[in-house]
Each structure stands twice: as C-alpha cells, then as structure tokens.
A and B are shown apart, each in its own frame.
Chain A
Amino acid sequence: MRSLVRRRIELVARVGGLLALGALVFITPAWRGRVTRSADDAGLAPALIAASRQPTEQLQLNLAAPPDPVQRSWLAALRGAGTRVTWRIADATLVPPTALIAERLPGPPAASRALIQVITTPGAKVVIADDYATLDSTVASATGVVTWVGPAPAAGSVTMRTANSRAAAYADTVPDSRAILVLARAGWEGKFVVAALEESGWLVESEFLVAPAGSTPPLQGPPTASPPLTGRSVFVRTRGAGVPIDTSRFSAVVALDATSARRSASIIAFVRSGGGLVLGPDAMIPAFRSIAPAVPATRRPAAIGDPDPHPDSARSRLSLRTLRVSQGAVPLEVAGTSVAVAAGREQLGRVVAAGYEESWRWRLLGSDESASGHREWWSSLVAAAAARRPAQPPRPNLVYDPLPFAAAIQALGPPSAPAGDAPLIPWRHILFLTAMLLLLAEWTSRRMRGAR
C-alpha cells in the first residue's frame, strides 16, 4: 500500500516537474523566437534597428538623457507593436524636468525681437543658443525661471541645455508685412509719430488732411497751371494709405485727431475683425465712443520746456488729457494719480487710448535720449494694439522638443526606478527551481526504492 502511494507521489512529482519545465519553456521569450534587449545612450540607435528587425519582448534602456524626438517616436511605435519598453535615467539629478518657450514679441517687422523662457530647477546653469551662436549663458533664478529678450533668433530655432537636458523650440520670426496707418491732420504730432514709427522699423502709411472740402475760398484770378485747393478735401497720402482698411493690409491704425471720423465705420469694423487701434486724445470722439477704452477727463497743462535730463520724465511733463477708464478696460500707464494710457478689447481687436498731447515736444525739447524715448514709447503703444499675424509653422526639418522629459513620459510612460528592472515575481526562477526539485525528488525516491 505504501509502495503504491509512493509511486503515485513520484508520478505527481514527475508530471509536476515536466509541467514546470514546459511552463518555463513557454514563458521564456528566446525559446519562442523573441528576445530581450538592453541599451544605453550609445547603443540605443542599434537597439532600435535590431528591435525593429526582430520581434523583441522587452527593451530596457539605461540612459543619461531622455531620448530625442525621433528616438522617442520610434520607441513609442515599438511599444505600440508589443515590445515592452522600460527606461530609466542613470543619474536623475543631471536631467531636471525642463520647459522651453520661444515666441516673437509684437513689434516692428524690421526689428524683430523674441522672448525666450526656460523653466528648470532653481540654480541650474542654462545655455540658450540659436542655429549660429550662443545667445546667453546664465543661472536659473530661485523660482527656476530664465527669461531672455533680444533680437529674434536666426531662422527661429532656439535650443536650451542644462546639465544633460536639451530642449528645442521655435520662435516665428517671419516679419509681418502689414503696415500701420496713421490718420491725422497735417501737423507736428502726425509728422513725428510717423517718423518715430518708421525709425522703429514699422511699415507706415499715412494720410494727412491738408484742407477739408470747401474749407478755403477760391483764389481770385484767371485759371492757372496750379488749380486752387477748393471743392474737395485735400490729403497728403502715402501710396498705400487710401486703400480700404482691413486686417490683410494693416495691423493697426493710429488715429490722432478727429479727421479719422470720416473713416470711423471702417476702422471700427477693422478693430472688431482683429485689427489694432491707437487713439490720441483728440481722436477720442463720439464716433469711437463704442470701442474706446477710456474717455478724456480733465486736462493737465504741459510743464515741458527746457531740456529734461530724463527722457521718461520729459513725457510726464507733456500736456495730458487724463483718462477715465471704461468698464472692461485696463490702465497701461499712470501719471501721478491719473491714467495716461488705457487699453481694452473690442471683439477680436484691441484699442489703446493715450492721453498725452503734442508728444512731439518730448522728442524735440527733451534730453538727447528723448528722440529714442519718443520712438520706443510710440512703438510700444502700437505693438500693444497691433494685430498678431497667425504664427507660421516651424520648418519641416526643425527638431521641435520644448518639453523633452514630459514628452518622454507621455510617449513611454514614467521612467523605471533604478531597482525596478527585475519583475516583481521571478517566475522563470521559480519554475526552474520547482521543476528541478520535483524531478530530483522523484528520481531520488525511485533510486532509494531500487527502481530505475
């Protein structure tokens, strides 16, 4: 009886051992024609090729930096095809999560400027470069932010390096070919606003009213080669100023006085469809009341006269129509306790109202820096209002990777912990050990009872 029980136990041990061996064969990828690969940075490219040529059960990556966008896409494709991709960063302190933002600042097309921002770990050393040269090398602030403003990068491409992290972004640097239209009566303010904008690099069209229709009496005397200026309005226009005002031709209109009233309907439609409008104090007329961000209140007389040592303080001494800001608008500049410049939105467009009168006096009567101050101030007003051109797409061959670490996690899942490579349950070892123990026990039992 005992012998029968012993034989049955031996049989169970043999069958169990063989089943364990079969299971081991079944779960071992190499025996099913599938392999496990591992690679570091140098071996990643060959591993990708090999994994694409031969079915691969698992690809284990031990990298110094996140894979680049091409490798990332390749790995994501392998993952989608069934390969288990695990990755980890060898030294996570050298690969801080980073973000790179690059965008063209609104401004004159001839002086294109860009804003580049890097977000990384506080105190990290950051190098910003474009296609041709290093733009800046600095240390991230306590909040982990680096902000750089300067000439637009060559070809729009921007890269950032910090430790082993590298990010690439694109700032649209294609200049906006649309013009700024200045409307005014012939006078110093219009002349010097046009001069300031042109000197800043804006394309400017202008329309100056010299004499409204019927405003001047006909000259007595016989007909002459030069007819008198009567019967119709007389304008001094640049070539492109007389065309309809729309966002395909102009990015902003600067209306300096009430002469713009005759085109107010088209200007309002222009603003509502995305254009910008800058209103001088004499242009805050009833025709623009519905879209103006402010209405003029009191007048503060000018104090400017002798050359002023500081260009900005010279502006503060100009004659000012203080502004009462409309609901929904915001003050952009305050002079003392009064609002001097305000801005608001009108559907898709923006309107800026400036209360300073005769700003040309700042340019002529201020210090030697006044001309540049006047120029930059007017350029900033127009830039605040001007319509943004839709961003141009990056170049096709540009590697665009502003969030390398986050993109790797999105594509491949989170990186593995350093000790996390081994599976939680080592099934192959368990099965092998089980098979060996069962077969050894069965063989030992048989030998001990004298059987073969």
Chain B
Amino acid sequence: MIASREALPAEFVFATAQYESGDWDSAPLVPANIIDTIARYTSIPVAPTGVIVSLGSADALRYPFLFMTGHLPVRLTGAEREVLTRFLGRGGMLFVDDHNHDIDGMFHRTATEELERVAGKLTRLSTRHSLYTTPFPWPDGPPNTSHELNGWGDNLIHPYLMASLDGDRIRILYSNKDYSSEWNFHPDNKRFYSVDNTRFAVNIIVHALTR
C-alpha cells in the first residue's frame, strides 16, 4: 500500500522506504511477517498492512520507523538525503538490512557510504545494548540467519550490527545479517518453525517505540 497523504493512523505502521536507486522492494513479505510478529507477541496497536513511502518525500516524516533493504547499489538523491536528515534529526529510526549479507557487496559499501554522509560514522552496536535485552533476551547479540550459517554471501557470520546512536537511542540500525531473506516468508508458515525466527524484530520495533 502506498502511503496516503490523508491518513494519520494512530497505530504503529510498518513503513518501507522507497528510494530511487537499487531494488528497495526486494523483500516484499517482510512487512507482513513483522506486523504479524508484533501482533503476536505484544499489545502494541499495529496497522494490519504496511505502507511504502518515498524516502525523497516529506511523507516519510509521517512514519517514525522506516525499513530499508535491497541488493543493488544505493545512491540517495539530494531530496532523499535531505528528508533522511530531517527524519533522523527529529527522532526517527531507520532500520537498514543488507539483502546480500555481504560486507564486500555493493549494497553494503554504497549504503553505508550514503548513510554515513547523512548520519556520521556507523559504529558496532554493543551486545549489551538494550536492543538485545528487551523484550526478548539475545545475550550473544543479533540472532544468526540460516543464510549466514549456510555460508552464503561472504561466507561470514556477522556477529554484530552497526548503528548510529544518539546516546543509547538508535537512529540507524544497519544489518548485514540478511534478515530480509530470513523473514521474507508468509506469516502462516511460522507454524512450520520450531523457533519463530522473527522475534528479534519485536526487539527492534519495541526499541523504536520506546527510546
């Protein structure tokens, strides 16, 4: 669903950032899956469907949480940089996942370059950060994905996430874990999993909504 200019929903809306370059829509089932997870584990009012919002439009400021993914090189336009600067400056949180799960890949190199132009250096997020404690505990840091464990991409397990922080408040959360692949399935299929692998998304959304 494309974001409507009139709609001012009171509940949490999962918004996917649409950017000019690259393939922003490479993980189309992730929003529905995360929405299902939020509704399943929390009482947070959540819109049943996500929205797609242009990163170069002021409409992006309607959604304080934005999800961004892709495989291809990312080059932000001037308008996208300007909106992203305002978005972060006013307290929004951007979650970026490298769909290539590859620190030498084009998405990683270009996306981090663009993000650092806007928000400064991305740093390793400590595993003691509250992102890994509430509500689900992840004492070893971000959960690994099956793609990492199978040796795809750069054949590495990425033990940490990157972030741009304001105190302990995460402005940008950057992942090479490839959650875009890990969570890109229909929510109904969770019944085939012995452990729900989307629970880490609850921590991300709860952090966005509380810090």
Name A residues whose Cβ lies closer than 8 Å to a Cβ of B: 185-188, 190-192, 194-195, 198, 206, 208-212, 215-217, 219-222, 224-226, 228-229, 234, 236, 302, 304-307, 319, 358, 360-361, 363-365, 368, 370-371
List the A side residues contacting B45 at CB < 8 Å: 187
A198–B91 CA distance with the chains assembled, in angstroms: 12
Contact partner, A216, options B42, B62, B167, B208, Cβ 8 Å? B42
Given contacts A229-B135, A236-B135, A358-B10, contact A211 B193 (CB under 8 A): no
Query: Are B209 and A186 in contact (CB-based, < 8 A)?
Result: yes
Query: Are A229 and B42 in contact (CB-based, < 8 A)?
Result: yes
Residue of A at shortest CB range from B45?
Answer: A187
Contact partner, A360, options B42, B64, B138, Cβ 8 Å? B64
User: Is B58 on the interface with A (CB-CB < 8 A)?
Assistant: yes
Contact partner, B43, options A216, A236, A360, Cβ 8 Å? A216
Contact partner, B90, options A208, A215, A304, A363, Cβ 8 Å? A363
Query: Among B87, B91, B206, B210, which residue has the most Cβ atoms of chain A within 10 A?
Result: B210
Query: Are B42 and A211 in contact (CB-based, < 8 A)?
Result: yes
Residue of A at shortest CB range from B93?
Answer: A191
Query: Are B135 and A234 in contact (CB-based, < 8 A)?
Result: yes
Sample of 17 further A-B pairs with CB below 8 A, known A206-B210, A216-B41, A236-B134: A186-B42, A191-B211, A195-B169, A210-B206, A212-B43, A216-B40, A221-B195, A221-B196, A222-B195, A226-B136, A229-B42, A302-B8, A304-B8, A305-B8, A358-B10, A364-B64, A364-B91
A224–B44 CA distance with the chains assembled, in angstroms: 23
Given contacts A211-B42, A219-B40, contact A365 B61 (CB under 8 A): yes
Name B residues whose Cβ lies closer than 8 Å to a Cβ of A: 5-6, 8, 10, 12, 40-45, 58, 61-62, 64, 86-87, 89-92, 130, 134-138, 167, 169, 191, 193-196, 199, 202, 206, 208-211
Residue of B at shortest CB range from A192?
Answer: B91
Given contacts A188-B64, A360-B64, contact A215 B43 (CB under 8 A): yes
List the A side residues contacting B5 at CB < 8 Å: 305
Contact partner, A186, options B44, B87, B130, Cβ 8 Å? B44
* Shortest Cβ gap from A183 to chain B (Å): 12
Query: Are B210 and A190 in contact (CB-based, < 8 A)?
Result: yes
Q: What are 22 A-B pairs with beta-carbon distances under 8 A?
A: A185-B43, A188-B64, A194-B211, A195-B169, A206-B210, A211-B43, A211-B44, A215-B43, A217-B40, A220-B191, A221-B196, A226-B136, A226-B137, A226-B138, A236-B134, A236-B206, A307-B58, A319-B8, A361-B8, A361-B62, A363-B90, A370-B90
A225–B208 CA distance with the chains assembled, in angstroms: 23
List the A side residues contacting B86 at CB < 8 Å: 368
Query: Are A185 and B44 in contact (CB-based, < 8 A)?
Result: yes
Query: Are B90 and A191 in contact (CB-based, < 8 A)?
Result: no
Query: Are A224 and B195 in contact (CB-based, < 8 A)?
Result: yes
A164–B196 CA distance with the chains assembled, in angstroms: 80
List the B side residues contacting A216 at CB < 8 Å: 40-43
Query: Are A236 and B42 in contact (CB-based, < 8 A)?
Result: no
Residue of A at shortest CB range from B208?
Answer: A191
Given contacts A206-B210, A210-B43, A216-B42, contact A365 B91 (CB under 8 A): no
Given contacts A186-B210, A195-B169, contact A222 B43 (CB under 8 A): no
Given contacts A185-B43, A216-B40, contact A208 B209 (CB under 8 A): yes
A228–B135 CA distance with the chains assembled, in angstroms: 10
List the A side residues contacting B91 at CB < 8 Å: 191-192, 195, 363-364, 371
Residue of A at shortest CB range from B91?
Answer: A195
